[in-house]
């Protein structure tokens, strides 16, 4: 059977450098760092005392007090960006076949703050088993998709993917395939995460995964820099409205990009470390190119996973050189995590949005905080250091990789119209 084409017709974003999609893009283009000392809790005793928090967000600007208390922040973030994306898409929900409209979301952890707070309360109250009746619905990762579908009446496929930091990209790929195969006409997809908590910072500190550059948080996320010392934890969400191409054209929708293809693979190597030779990353990019029926030479920009870890940055660049050959030196490559930090399960969603906006503005967002070249890397690659670059872009590829060896890549192409 012929696969249906899938396009992006709406965007929403809530990030450490902008609370709407347009503001997020301005932050990216201007090379703004979202890292600062933690305000969510007293982090004085932690080895890492900073993060990329969402700023100036008040749940009561979006929900009434009673409603907000029933939701973990990761669900609040999901609903806010879904609403922005729906409004941006100009969908007339009264004319949509709601049985063919779905929600596929991603979150690597879900309601971490809720889980932490409830267990702490139980421990402090001795043996009295008192738990909030909304404890379980607030905590479970799938509840974000449930809330979104309830709000808009979408009765199509509805679930949340969990594949660590690849979660949101897995959700986007699943939505792509459901629409391609005719099971949906449109979907709200993306991801959300709210792990800037004592448990989140403490857990990643215990793994020695986080930067400990407390004297200069704004320069701590420095992908590809010789002195990188770990990632910076971020939080937030992003949403995409995906539609079948003819469905979008028939209603006169603005098309941001075509979602041309997606790939998945596994490292089958280690629970947290990437394959040192980038074998899984190589496979996933080749799978995405094959799915999109594209050659490597067609890609203009890669939004890399680029977390600012010593091992990950090296393995990903090795994979890019293996897949793209000589064309690797013609590409622009950048890590927007240098600005947003690492949003874990939501990373793929905000980086998909960044890739789409790069295509629309013919501008490659930078990899900020580059100070010293790393001899382990090929410094002839154009890693778009420190300053955004204007460039005619037709095709962008976005990589996200997760603990457990989960690898995902998606490819966006400028629309024909």
In 10 A of CB 283, how many CB atoms?
A: 20
Helix (H, G, I), strand (E, B) or coil at 143: helix
CA angle 65, 67, 70 (to 5 degrees): 110
Q: What is the sign, positive or negative, of the torsion defined by CA atoms of 305, 394, 386, 329?
A: positive
Classify residue 2 by its DSSP letter.
Answer: P
Sorted by sequence, the CB contacts under 8 Å of residue 357 that are 6+ apart come out as 11, 21, 24, 25, 28, 256
CB 17 within 8 A of CB 339: yes
Q: From the CA atom positions of the chain, what is the Rg in Å?
A: 20
User: What are the residue numbers of the active site?
Assistant: 165, 305, 342
Classify residue 90 by its DSSP letter.
Answer: T
The torsion angles phi and psi of 406, rounded to 5 degrees, stand at -80, 125
Distance (Å, whole) CA 399 – CA 366: 16
């Amino acid at each position: 059977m012929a696969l249906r084409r899938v396009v992006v017709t709406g965007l929403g974003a809530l990030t450490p450098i902008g609370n709407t999609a347009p503001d997020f893009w301005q932050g990216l283009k201007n090379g703004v760092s979202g890292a600062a000392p933690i305000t969510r809790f007293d982090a004085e005793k932690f080895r890492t005392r900073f993060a990329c928090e969402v700023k100036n967000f008040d749940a009561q600007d979006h929900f009434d007090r009673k409603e907000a208390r029933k939701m973990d922040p990761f669900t609040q973030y999901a609903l806010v960006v879904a609403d922005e994306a729906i409004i941006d898409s100009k969908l007339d929900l009264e004319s949509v076949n709601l049985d063919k409209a779905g929600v596929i979301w991603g979150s690597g952890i879900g309601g971490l703050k809720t889980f932490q707070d409830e267990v702490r309360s139980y421990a402090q109250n001795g043996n009295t088993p008192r738990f909030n009746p909304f404890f379980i619905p607030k905590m479970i990762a799938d509840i974000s998709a449930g809330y979104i579908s309830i709000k808009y009446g979408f009765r199509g496929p509805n679930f949340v993917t969990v594949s660590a930091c690849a979660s949101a990209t897995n959700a986007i790929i699943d939505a792509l395939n459901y629409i391609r195969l005719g099971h949906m006409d449109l979907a709200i997809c993306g991801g959300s995460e709210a792990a800037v908590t004592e448990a989140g910072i403490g857990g990643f500190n215990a793994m020695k995964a986080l930067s400990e550059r407390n004297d200069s948080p704004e320069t701590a996320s420095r992908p590809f820099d010789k002195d990188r010392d770990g990632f910076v934890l971020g939080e937030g969400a992003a949403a995409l409205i995906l539609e079948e191409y003819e469905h979008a054209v028939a209603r006169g929708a603005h098309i941001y990009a075509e979602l041309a293809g997606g790939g998945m693979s596994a490292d089958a190597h280690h629970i947290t470390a990437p394959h040192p030779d980038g074998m899984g990353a190589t496979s996933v990019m080749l799978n995405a190119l094959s799915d999109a029926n594209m050659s490597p030479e067609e890609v203009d920009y890669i939004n890399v996973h680029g977390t600012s870890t010593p091992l990950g940055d090296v393995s990903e660049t090795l994979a890019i050189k293996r897949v793209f050959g000589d064309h690797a030196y013609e590409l622009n490559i950048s890590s927007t995590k240098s600005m947003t930090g690492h949003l874990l399960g939501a990373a793929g969603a905000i980086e998909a949005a960044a890739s789409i906006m790069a295509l629309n503005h013919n501008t490659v967002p930078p990899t900020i905080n580059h100070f010293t070249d790393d001899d382990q890397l090929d410094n002839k690659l154009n890693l778009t250091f420190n300053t955004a670059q204007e460039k005619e872009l037709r095709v962008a590829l976005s990589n996200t990789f997760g603990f457990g060896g989960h690898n995902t890549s998606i490819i966006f192409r400028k629309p024909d119209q």
